[in-house]
Amino acid sequence: MKRVLILLALLILASFIFIPQVFYKVDETNQAIVLRFGAVKTTSKNPGLYIKAPFVDQVIYFDKRLLIFDAPPESILTDDKKRLIVDVYARAHITDPVTFYKTLTSEALGKAQAIDILSSELRTEFAKDQQAEIVTTKRNEIMEQIKSNMDSKYANFGLTLLDVRIKRADFPDAIQESVYTRMRSERKRKADKERAEGAKIDLEVRADVDKKAAIIKAEAKRDAEKIKGEGDAEAIIILANAMEKDPEFYNFQRTLQAYRIFIDSQTTIVLPAESELFQFLEDPSEINEK
């Protein structure tokens, strides 16, 4: 019985030693290559349990997730001989673990090499452009060019580059405040110019509206005068016709109109007795007869 227990213990111990030498596991976050006597035997990219030759094969794992290569901030000289403090990073995947292993051997060395390439391309491209362009209009264009230049270089190491991004691109502290002051002045100048142009357009629009309003009023006044003239002419014709039919009644009406114009409770009239205007005031019976 004691011998059986010893044998069982030896079998269990052997399994703990032997099984890891026969099987290896790949999960969702990594990929593996198997080396036999230093040469690549096979590659395992999908999750699962795999078999290898015990005590002969060596398994090396590489991260399958997105890798971030974060370059340290550095001072870069631009085309106009001005400096910028630039902080960038690149994101990439290890898509060819065999090439990655053969060229870089480890992730630590791969990270260092990837950052060196990033820094070199950054200095090269920034040296082609003006400082003001880099921090304003051409930043995205420059980063796309850097990515394009890095694609083939990363591919040589088994890496697929996703993108390159700037975390920060600032002026050195010594000139930062003066640059910001100049930028604020430039923006104020542009704002003042736009406001002046807006005021000019406003005046032009108002002048145009006033001109059109004056034309409309003049045309309306002209039409009103025309209508009034036509009405007066028609009234004269009607009065003339009335005068022809009954001259005495017409004379009576015109006299009454004259009374309405100049007679009120405060009016004193001095007329000769023989005045025609006085006839209806002197003899009211004339009015009744009329």
Question: What is the mean predicted confidence (pLDDT) over 206-212?
Answer: 89
Domain range annotation of the chain: 2-63, 67-170, 246-289
Enumerate the H helices of 36-106 as residue ranges. Answer: 97-104
CATH of domain 67-170: 3.30.479.30
Return the top range by mean pLDDT from 16-30, 186-200, 230-244, 247-261. Answer: 186-200
Enumerate the H helices of the chain as residue ranges. Answer: 2-22, 97-104, 107-126, 131-135, 139-155, 173-245, 247-262, 279-282, 285-289
Residue 244 reports pLDDT greater than 80: no
pLDDT in the model for residue 106: 86
| Residue with more model confidence, 242 or 147 | 147
- Count CB neighbours of 261 within 10 A: 8
Residue 179 reports pLDDT greater than 70: no
Query: Residue 265 has which token pair?
Result: 């409770």
Residue 281 pLDDT class (50, 70, 90 cuts): low
Q: What is the pTM of this model?
A: 0.53
| Residue with more model confidence, 82 or 275 | 82
Lowest mean pLDDT among 19-33, 114-128, 243-257, 276-290: 276-290
Report the distance separating Cα 84 and Cα 99, nearest Å.
35
pLDDT digits (tens, 9 = 90+) for 124-146: 988 888 877 887 788 888 889 99
Residue 290 reports pLDDT greater than 50: no
pLDDT in the model for residue 107: 87
Residue 90 reports pLDDT greater than 90: yes
pLDDT digits (tens, 9 = 90+) for 251-271: 777 777 777 776 665 667 676
Residue 68 pLDDT class (50, 70, 90 cuts): very high
Question: What is the mean predicted confidence (pLDDT) over 194-204?
Answer: 88
Question: What is the mean predicted confidence (pLDDT) over 45-67?
Answer: 89
Give the residue among 169, 156, 84, 88 at the shortest CA–CA distance from 121: 88
| 246 three-state secondary structure | coil
| Residue with more model confidence, 174 or 69 | 69
Report the distance separating Cα 186 and Cα 62, nearest Å.
52
Report the distance separating Cα 267 and Cα 78, nearest Å.
99
User: Which DSSP category does 123 fall into?
Assistant: H
- Count CB neighbours of 64 within 10 A: 20
| Residue with more model confidence, 10 or 166 | 166
pLDDT in the model for residue 171: 74
Report the distance separating Cα 229 and Cα 33, nearest Å.
108
The one-letter amino acid code at 15 reads S
